[in-house]
Amino acid sequence: MLDINGLTVTYGLHAALQGVSLTASKGEIVVILGANGAGKSSLLRAIAGISEGTVSGEAALAGQSLRQMKADRIVEAGIAFVPEGRGIFGDLSVWENLMLGAYPERARASRQENLEKVVALFPKLAQRRNQTARTMSGGEQQMVAIGRAMMSNPDILMLDEPSLGLSPLLSGELFENLSRIRETGIGVLLVEQNAKRSLAIADRGYLIENGLITGADTASALLNDPAVQKAYLGSG
């Protein structure tokens, strides 16, 4: 289980996160909802070890502290991160991007098994294996980014705004695939502006405002909460 306790991130005098605590387990989808600037991306970047701010508090996976680890060791511990904008290597082929994801030591022994999981989720990647990644559509590039993260054999997969810039059709396919990733036993920690679709597939959710957790419940309870509907679902 990923256990975040009292996580604070500051940039100079500005506190992006203030004492945030949450959990995410293998085999569940946890969504974090909040307005732009609420601190969602700062949270994921702090967990991944790539925050540009000053970080305090605790982050642990399966009882092992992540806080003093460098980013590559956090990947080795079992955290994979797909940032906003995907972060793929555009000049490399699809297959080369995926193989880079398998570089961590924890992933090497199961590289073929992980590759089969990725291809089962995204058959198009096998069809386009030799295509240069930057020539692909936004939706296809997102497949590459998620596939590469899965190749690291993670316990927890974190995604920052994965549906950003995708058409409604491709967004629908993305959320279906996140449900299928959960079925493989991977935990998903999801930051997403599309509250309705993300809550529809999630198990639990947290609300974040101005760097503070202001609510937490099951996804179904949040979907039916009038305050959540008014703030995030465009109703009420």
Q: pLDDT tens, 207-219?
A: 999 999 999 999 9
Residue 47 is assigned to a structural domain of this protein: no
Across the chain, mean pLDDT equals 95
pLDDT at residue 236 tops 60: no
Angle (CA) 74 84 147, round 5°: 65
Global pTM? 0.95
CATH number at residue 106: 3.40.50.300
Residue 84 is assigned to a structural domain of this protein: yes
Report yes or no: 177 and 166 within 8 Å, Cβ to Cβ: no
Q: Which residues does residue 17 pair with via DSSP β-bridges, in sequence order?
A: 9
How large is the angle between the packed helices 111-121 and 138-150, nearest 10 degrees?
Answer: 150
**Looking at residues 127-148, what average pLDDT do you find?**
94
Stated as kind and residue range, the H or E segment containing 105 is helix 105-108
Residue 150 is assigned to a structural domain of this protein: yes
Residue 65 is assigned to a structural domain of this protein: no
Domain that holds residue 174: 26-39+78-232
Q: State the Cα–Cα distance between residues 210 and 153, nearest whole angstrom.
A: 33
pLDDT band at 193; cut points 50, 70, 90? confident
Number of domains in the chain: 1
Token pair, residue 117, equals 């999981």
pLDDT at residue 86 tops 80: no
Residue 109 is assigned to a structural domain of this protein: yes
Q: 3-state DSSP call for residue 25?
A: coil
Residue 91 is assigned to a structural domain of this protein: yes
pLDDT > 90 in the chain, percent:
90
